[in-house]
């Protein structure tokens, strides 16, 4: 006997087979994604740690602490600054490079590979490299000294430490976005450019009226993925600055890590992680919304 809803069978042979094949994936999804999210949300309403004393329910106290803690708002400000300063160049620079590489066939494959290498490089290894480059007696200050510029305490300055992290993040994300934009450019029909040239459109007009509209799905995807990449940044801070100096490079993920595994305040850290999760879900929703409108 088949169960029917609104006149349609959802337990016929094909549906049963589909559920059988989907069940292992759904179990893994529930165990490793859904359950941790539910447990994180539960922990955000508790206090204590995973010792014999256990945890206790405190309601919304952790979220109230977030609102009233000045360090948390400084971390939010650092994260917003870091995200905006990383996302914008990480879109503009690879977009320009993609347009140039798409027009020039010579060495395009080699250059595309060279630009993509940072994306597959270990972020920890890259962070150690940047830490060496920006040491007080490192190569960057040696180069500045050659041109008569006084050495800059890059990693010891509240002004210059964050730009070092931003530079590393841009370098890391550039190759991935470049490949995304190249794929989007190659999907734009060439006859659109030919028609625009016959109508007398210059290169800027072609870029503004053909290239950018044609790259809208790629731009949305690259913007959201880059924003998520920057929001979850941890290795850069951990390896290079440790959140200093004076908390000036402390980002939200590192703040969560410090509260959970240095201060052992798991409930408060879970509340901060829930805020990060909410922001990420909003970004994903916006991407799906824009993508759905584009497909429609």
Specify the DSSP element, H or E, that contains 46.
strand 46-48
Q: Using a cut of 0.85, tell me whether the model's pTM lies above it.
A: yes
Specify the DSSP element, H or E, that contains 4.
strand 4-5
Q: Which pLDDT tens digit goes with each residue over 71-96?
A: 999 999 999 999 999 999 999 999 99
Q: Which pLDDT tens digit goes with each residue over 44-71?
A: 999 877 665 678 899 899 999 999 999 9
Average of per-residue pLDDT across 243-253: 93
Q: How many CA atoms lie within 13 A of 280 on its CB side?
A: 17
For residues 107 and 227, the model is more confident at 227
pLDDT at residue 251, as a whole number: 95
pLDDT at residue 35, as a whole number: 94
**Band of pLDDT at residue 295, cut at 50, 70 and 90:** low
DSSP-assigned beta bridge partners for residue 47: 56
What is the Cα–Cα distance from 230 to 83, expressed in whole angstroms? Answer: 6
User: Could you give the C-alpha distances from 131 to 144, 175, 250, in angstroms and in order?
Assistant: 16, 21, 16
Q: Residue 178 in 3-state DSSP?
A: helix
Average of per-residue pLDDT across 23-52: 88
- Residue 192, token pair as written in the block: 């659109």
Average of per-residue pLDDT across 181-210: 88
Q: Decide if pLDDT at 286 tops 90.
A: no
Average of per-residue pLDDT across 164-192: 92
Which of 73, 249, 233 is CA-nearest to residue 160?
Answer: 249
Specify the DSSP element, H or E, that contains 95.
helix 70-103
pLDDT at residue 11, as a whole number: 63
């Amino acid at each position: 006997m088949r169960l029917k809803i609104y006149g349609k069978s959802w337990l016929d042979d094909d549906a049963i087979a589909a559920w059988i094949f989907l069940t292992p994936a759904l179990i893994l999804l529930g165990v490793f994604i859904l359950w941790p999210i539910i447990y994180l949300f539960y922990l955000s309403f508790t206090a204590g740690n995973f010792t014999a004393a256990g945890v206790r329910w405190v309601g919304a106290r952790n979220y109230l602490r977030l609102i009233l803690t000045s360090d948390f708002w400084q971390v939010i400000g650092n994260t917003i600054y870091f995200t905006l300063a990383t996302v914008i160049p990480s879109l503009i620079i690879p977009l320009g490079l993609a347009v140039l590489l798409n027009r020039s066939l010579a060495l395009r494959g080699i250059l595309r590979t060279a630009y993509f290498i940072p994306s597959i490089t270990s972020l920890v290894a890259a962070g150690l490299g940047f830490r060496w480059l920006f040491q007080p007696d490192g190569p960057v200050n040696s180069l500045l000294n050659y041109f008569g510029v006084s050495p800059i305490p890059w990693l010891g300055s509240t002004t210059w430490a964050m730009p070092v992290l931003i530079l590393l993040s841009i370098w890391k994300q550039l190759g991935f976005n470049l490949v995304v934009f190249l794929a989007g450019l190659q999907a734009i029909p060439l006859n659109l450019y030919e028609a625009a040239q016959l109508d007398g459109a210059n290169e800027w007009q072609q870029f503004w009226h053909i290239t950018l509209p044609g790259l809208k799905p790629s731009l949305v995807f690259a913007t959201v993925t880059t924003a998520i990449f920057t929001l979850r940044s941890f290795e850069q801070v951990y390896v290079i600055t440790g959140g200093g100096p004076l908390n000036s490079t402390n980002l939200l993920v590192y703040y969560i890590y410090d509260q959970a595994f240095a201060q052992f305040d798991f409930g408060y850290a879970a509340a901060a992680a829930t805020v990060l999760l909410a922001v990420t879900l909003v970004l994903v929703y916006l991407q799906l919304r824009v993508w759905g409108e584009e497909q429609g």
